[in-house]
C-alpha cells in the first residue's frame, strides 16, 4: 500500500505537492500579466514618419514606456519628446493627477515632417501637442471615417447600387438606373443611356470602371442568384429585452449558385457598347481585378473558375477589339487564388506574376503584349511570399521570402532585394530569425525587428540597399522574466509521416518544470490550409502557454496540408481536410517523446477552434489510438455546412463524396476518447448548426460527450468561461484529478 502510494505521489506533477489546483488555476490566469510586466526593451508600436528618413517607436523600460525617434540620416535615436512635460500638460488639460511620464495613456502617435508637434488619442478623443510649449489642444482626427453601419464580412453584394461614379477628369459621372448604365455631365441635367439590355434579373453592375482618359467605361452585366442562402441566428439572452432576437445574414455554402459577371466596355463619346468574348463564364467563381492601362487603350480582368483549378488573366485591346490571354494558371488540385499577385510595368510591356507552377511559389516575368513568360525570376526549394516594393526605374524590387537559408526553420520570414534584369538576390535581413520590417516612404532605410520564439527581439536600423546595420536600436531583456520562473519555448523539428519531410513545431514547458517527471501533453491545433500557424516570433505568452501551468506540456505543430512550404506539402489538404496534418503531428510527438521522456504522449489531449475545432475533433475520431481527449470550439465539423469561399478553395467543386469523408458528423460513430464541444449561439463565421449536427450524430450513435452552448457569443475559443471549461476537462481526463469547486462560496 505504501509502495503504491509513493508511486502515485511521484507520478503526479510537482504542483500537486506544493500548490492546490485552485492556485494553479490562478497562476494560469496571471501568466501573461505576471511575466509581461517583467519584459523590457521590446518594441510595442512603431511607424515610419511620412516623407522623412525617420521612424518612431514605443518601447518599455524598467522606468516605464518611452517613445523614441530614429533619425536614419544622422544614424541616431532620441526621445520623441519630454515625457514628463507632456504628462504634466495632459493632467492639466484633462483635469487629472494620475497620468505618469512612464505610462502615458496612448500607445501610438502621429508626427509630421517637421516633427514640431505630435497627435494622439485619449479615450476616443484626438489631441495635438505643440512641442515648443507642450500646450495640448483637442483637434479633429484626420483618420476618422463617417460610419455607415457595420457590414457583415460575408455579405453578398448585389452590385445594384445607385451611387454615381465620377470620371477621372471630373466632368461626367456614370450610374445605374433600372438596370442600365447611364452617364451625365456633372454641370448639367442632361443624361444619356449607354446600355439598353439591362433588366432587374440581369443588370449592369454598380462597379463602374472609367478609363484614365474619361472616354471609356468597363462595366459588367451582373446576373444575381435568385435566392441567396441566409444563416439564421437566435440570440437567446439579449441584454436589452427579455424575449429572444432573431437575425439573418448572407451565408452561401459549398455548391450554392453564385452571381455571374460578363464584362462589357463602352465608348462614351461614340455611345457604343462592346461585349467581351470570354469562354465558360457560366462556370465562374468570380470575375475580378478590372483595371485600365494608363494609355486607356486596353483593360485587364481576371476570371477565377469555380473549383479554383483554373485562373486566367485577360487583356482586351479597345482599338482592335481583341481579347488575349495573358496568364492561364491551372492545377490538378487547387490554385490558392488569395496568394496570386500581378503587377504591370506598362513602360516595358511587362508583368510580374506569382505562381506555384514549378512546385514552389516563385516570381515570373511576363510579356504584356503576347502573354508569354519572358523568364522565371526566382527559383529553388523556398517560398517567395510577397512583393514589398517595386522600383521600375532601377529595375529592382524588395520581397519577403522564407526557407531560402538552409539548416534553419524554413518558416522564418526574411527580406531580400532582387534585380529584375540580372536576377541577383541580395539578403537585407540575414540573421537566423523571423524579421518584421518598416521602410521609409522612399525605401531607403528600414527599421528591422527580428526574433524567434526562442530568441528575444533585436531592433536595428538598416540600409535598404544592402541590409547593412547602420544603428543598433533595442535588444529585449528577459532576465527578470526568467528569474521569476518563465521558461523559453523550444523549437523542435522531426521527420513527418513519410520519414523524409521535416516537420516543425514548438514545445512549451510549464514554470516549475521538473525533467524527472512525466507530463501529459496538450496540443493546440489550427491546421487551416490558408497559412502556417506555429508562432515564429518571440512572445511572453503563446496561445497554450497559460494552460500548461496546470501541469501540462503544451505543443503546436505545422503538418502537411498547411501553406508556406512546397505545393506538394500544401496539396495534402485537397479534398482531404480531415487529414489536418495529424499523421505528421503524431510522428513529431513520438520523436519529441523519444528525445524528451518527460512528455507522456500516452496522455495526449488536443484543442482548437474553427478549422482547429474540426481538426481537434477529427483527431479523436480518426486517430483514437493516439489522441485521448479533445476540446473543440466553433468547429467546422462538416465542410458542406460552412462558408463557400473557404471550403470550396480546399475541398473543390462540385460537392462530392470527399466532403462526407472529411465530415466529423458522418464519422461520429468513431469516437472513442473524451470530447467536449463549445459553440457560440451567434457564430456568424461557422454555422453553429455544424456543432449541433455533430452533437445529434453523437447522440444517435449513443456516444458520451459534453456540449457547452455559449449564449450571446460569436465565433470564439470560448472566452473566460469556455477557457475554464476547457481547463477543467483536461484536468479531469488527463491529470485524473479534481478541479476547484467553482460554485463554492467566494469562487
**Average confidence (pLDDT) per 10 residues, the chain, 747 residues:** 37 53 95 97 96 97 97 98 98 95 97 93 95 94 60 76 94 96 90 94 96 98 94 97 97 97 97 95 97 98 98 97 97 98 97 98 97 98 98 98 97 98 98 98 98 98 98 98 98 98 98 96 98 98 97 98 98 98 98 98 98 98 98 98 98 98 98 98 98 98 98 97 98 96 81
Q: Taking the alpha carbons of 119, 121, 124, 127 in that order, is the dihedral positive or negative?
A: negative
Distance CA 100, CA 688 (A): 46
- Which of 138, 154, 186 is the last residue in one of the domains? 138
Domain contains 368: no
Partnered with residue 504 across adjacent β-strands are 493, 558
Q: Edge-to-edge strands of the sheet including 284-292?
A: 284-292, 298-305, 310-317, 323-330
Residue 6 has what pLDDT?
Answer: 35
**Domain of residue 599, CATH code:** 3.40.50.1820
Which DSSP symbol is given to 282?
G
* Ramachandran bin of 746, using left for φ above 0, alpha for ψ from -120 to 50, beta for the remaining angles: left
Considering the domain boundaries, does residue 32 fall inside one? Answer: no
**Positive or negative, the Cα torsion across 364, 367, 373, 376?**
negative
CB count within 10 Å of CB 485 equals 13
Q: Please indicate, yes or no, if residue 635 is contained in any of the structural domains.
A: yes
Q: What domain count does the chain have?
A: 2
Residue 322: CA count within 13 A, CB half-sphere:
6
pLDDT of residue 137: 95
User: Assign residue 443 a region: left if phi > 0, alpha if psi is -120 to 50, beta otherwise?
Assistant: left
- Distance, in Å, from the CA atom of 30 to the CA atom of 691, rounded to the nearest integer, reads 31
Structural domain harbouring 533: 489-735
pLDDT tens digits for range 304-329? 999 999 999 999 999 999 999 999 99
The pLDDT, as a whole number, for residue 188 is: 82
pLDDT score recorded for residue 162: 85
Task: Pull the grid cell for residue 96.
Answer: 487629472
8 A C-beta contact, residue 605 and residue 733: yes
| Residues whose CB falls within 8 Å of the CB of residue 241, separated by 6 or more in sequence, listed in order | none
Looking at residue 18, its pLDDT comes to 59
Separation between Cα atoms, residue 374 and residue 384, nearest integer Å? 18
Count of Cβ atoms closer than 10 Å to residue 247 Cβ: 13
pLDDT 10s digits, 459-481: 999 999 999 999 999 999 999 99
Domain boundary among 95, 115, 138: 138
Is this model's pTM higher than 0.85 or not? yes
The string of DSSP codes covering 419-434 is ETTT--EEESS-SSSE
Residue 151: what pLDDT?
60
Closest CA to 361 of 532, 581, 494: 532
Q: Give the 3-state secondary structure of residue 73.
A: coil
| C-alpha cell, 72 | 536614419
Q: Which of 77, 111, 138 is the last residue of a domain?
A: 138
Q: Is residue 669 part of a domain?
A: yes
404 within domain boundaries: no
Q: Is residue 180 part of a domain?
A: no
Helix-strand-coil percent breakdown of the chain, rounded to 5? 20, 35, 45
Report the run of H or E that residue 651 belongs to, with start and end: helix 644-651
Separation between Cα atoms, residue 468 and residue 447, nearest integer Å: 12
pLDDT in tens, 554-568: 999 999 999 999 999
Question: Is residue 741 assigned to a domain?
Answer: no
Contact residues for 706 (Cβ-Cβ < 8 A; gap 6+): 675, 676, 677, 729
Residue at 354 is within a domain:
no
Residue 458 burial class via C-beta count within 10 angstroms: exposed 0-12, middle 13-18, buried 19 and up: buried
Amino acid at each position: 500500500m505504501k509502495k503504491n502510494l509513493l508511486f502515485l505521489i511521484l507520478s503526479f506533477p510537482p504542483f500537486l505537492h506544493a500548490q492546490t489546483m485552485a492556485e494553479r488555476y490562478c497562476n494560469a490566469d496571471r501568466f501573461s500579466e505576471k511575466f509581461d510586466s517583467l519584459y523590457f526593451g521590446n518594441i510595442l508600436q512603431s511607424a515610419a514618419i511620412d516623407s522623412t528618413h525617420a521612424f518612431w517607436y514605443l518601447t518599455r523600460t524598467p522606468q516605464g514606456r518611452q517613445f523614441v525617434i530614429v533619425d536614419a540620416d544622422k544614424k541616431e535615436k532620441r526621445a520623441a519628446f519630454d515625457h514628463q512635460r507632456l504628462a504634466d500638460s495632459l493632467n492639466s488639460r484633462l483635469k487629472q493627477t494620475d497620468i505618469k511620464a512612464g505610462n502615458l495613456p496612448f500607445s501610438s502617435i502621429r508626427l509630421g515632417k517637421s516633427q514640431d508637434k505630435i497627435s494622439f488619442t485619449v479615450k476616443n478623443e484626438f489631441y495635438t501637442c505643440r512641442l515648443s510649449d507642450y500646450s495640448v489642444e483637442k483637434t479633429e482626427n484626420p483618420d476618422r471615417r463617417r460610419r455607415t453601419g457595420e457590414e457583415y464580412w460575408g455579405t453578398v453584394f448585389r452590385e445594384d447600387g445607385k451611387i454615381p461614379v465620377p470620371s477621372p477628369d471630373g466632368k461626367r459621372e456614370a450610374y445605374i438606373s433600372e438596370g442600365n448604365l447611364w452617364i451625365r455631365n456633372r454641370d448639367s441635367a442632361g443624361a444619356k443611356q449607354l446600355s439598353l439590355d439591362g433588366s432587374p434579373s440581369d443588370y449592369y453592375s454598380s462597379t463602374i470602371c472609367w478609363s484614365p482618359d474619361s472616354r471609356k467605361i468597363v462595366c459588367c452585366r451582373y446576373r444575381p442568384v435568385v435566392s441567396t442562402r441566409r444563416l439564421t441566428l437566435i440570440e437567446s439572452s439579449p441584454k436589452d429585452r427579455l424575449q429572444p432576437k432573431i437575425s439573418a445574414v448572407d451565408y452561401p455554402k459549398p455548391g450554392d449558385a453564385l452571381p455571374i459577371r460578363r464584362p462589357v466596355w463602352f465608348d462614351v463619346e461614340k455611345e457604343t457598347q462592346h461585349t467581351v468574348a470570354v469562354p465558360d463564364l457560366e462556370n465562374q467563381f468570380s470575375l475580378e481585378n478590372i483595371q485600365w492601362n494608363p494609355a486607356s487603350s486596353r483593360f485587364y480582368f481576371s476570371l477565377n473558375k469555380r473549383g479554383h483549378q483554373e485562373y486566367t488573366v485577360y487583356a482586351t485591346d479597345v482599338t482592335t477589339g481583341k481579347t488575349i490571354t495573358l496568364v492561364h494558371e491551372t492545377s490538378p488540385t487547387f490554385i490558392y487564388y488569395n496568394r496570386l499577385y500581378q503587377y504591370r510595368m506598362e513602360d516595358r510591356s511587362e508583368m510580374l506574376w506569382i505562381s506555384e507552377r514549378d512546385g514552389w511559389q516563385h516570381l515570373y516575368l511576363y510579356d504584356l503584349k503576347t502573354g508569354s513568360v519572358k523568364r522565371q525570376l526566382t527559383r529553388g526549394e523556398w517560398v517567395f511570399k510577397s512583393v514589398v516594393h517595386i522600383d521600375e526605374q532601377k529595375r529592382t524590387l524588395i520581397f519577403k521570402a522564407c526557407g531560402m537559408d538552409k539548416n534553419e526553420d524554413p518558416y522564418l520570414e526574411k527580406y531580400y532585394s532582387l534585380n529584375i534584369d540580372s536576377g541577383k538576390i541580395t539578403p537585407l535581413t540575414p540573421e537566423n530569425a523571423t524579421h518584421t520590417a518598416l521602410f521609409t516612404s522612399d525605401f531607403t532605410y528600414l527599421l528591422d525587428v527580428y526574433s524567434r520564439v526562442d530568441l528575444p527581439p533585436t531592433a536595428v536600423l538598416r540600409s535598404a540597399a544592402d541590409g547593412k546595420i547602420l544603428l543598433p536600436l533595442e535588444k529585449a531583456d528577459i532576465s527578470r522574466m526568467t528569474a521569476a520562473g518563465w521558461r523559453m519555448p523550444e523549437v523542435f523539428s522531426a521527420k513527418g509521416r513519410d520519414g523524409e519531410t521535416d516537420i516543425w513545431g514548438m514545445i512549451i514547458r510549464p514554470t516549475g518544470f521538473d525533467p524527472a517527471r512525466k507530463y501529459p501533453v496538450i496540443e493546440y491545433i489550427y491546421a487551416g490550409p490558408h497559412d502556417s500557424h506555429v508562432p515564429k516570433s518571440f512572445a511572453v505568452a503563446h496561445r497554450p502557454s497559460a494552460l500548461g501551468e496546470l501541469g501540462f506540456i503544451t505543443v503546436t505543430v505545422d503538418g502537411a496540408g498547411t501553406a508556406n512550404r512546397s505545393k506538394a506539402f500544401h496539396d495534402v489538404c485537397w479534398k482531404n481536410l480531415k487529414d489536418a496534418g495529424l499523421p505528421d503531428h503524431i510522428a513529431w510527438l513520438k520523436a519529441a517523446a523519444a528525445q524528451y521522456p518527460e512528455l507522456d504522449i500516452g496522455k495526449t489531449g488536443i484543442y482548437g477552434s474553427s478549422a482547429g475545432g474540426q481538426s481537434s475533433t477529427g483527431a479523436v475520431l480518426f486517430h483514437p489510438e493516439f489522441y485521448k481527449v479533445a476540446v473543440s470550439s466553433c468547429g467546422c465539423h462538416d465542410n458542406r455546412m460552412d462558408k463557400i469561399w473557404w471550403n470550396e478553395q480546399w475541398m473543390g467543386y462540385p460537392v462530392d463524396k470527399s466532403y462526407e469523408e472529411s465530415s466529423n458528423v458522418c464519422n461520429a460513430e468513431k469516437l472513442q476518447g473524451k470530447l467536449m464541444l463549445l459553440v457560440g449561439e451567434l457564430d456568424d463565421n461557422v454555422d453553429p448548426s455544424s456543432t449541433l449536427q455533430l452533437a445529434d450524430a453523437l447522440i444517435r450513435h449513443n456516444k458520451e460527450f459534453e456540449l457547452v452552448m455559449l449564449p450571446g457569443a460569436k465565433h470564439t475559443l470560448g472566452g473566460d468561461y469556455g477557457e475554464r471549461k476547457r481547463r477543467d476537462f483536461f484536468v479531469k481526463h488527463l491529470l485524473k484529478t479534481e478541479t476547484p469547486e467553482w460554485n463554492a462560496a467566494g469562487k
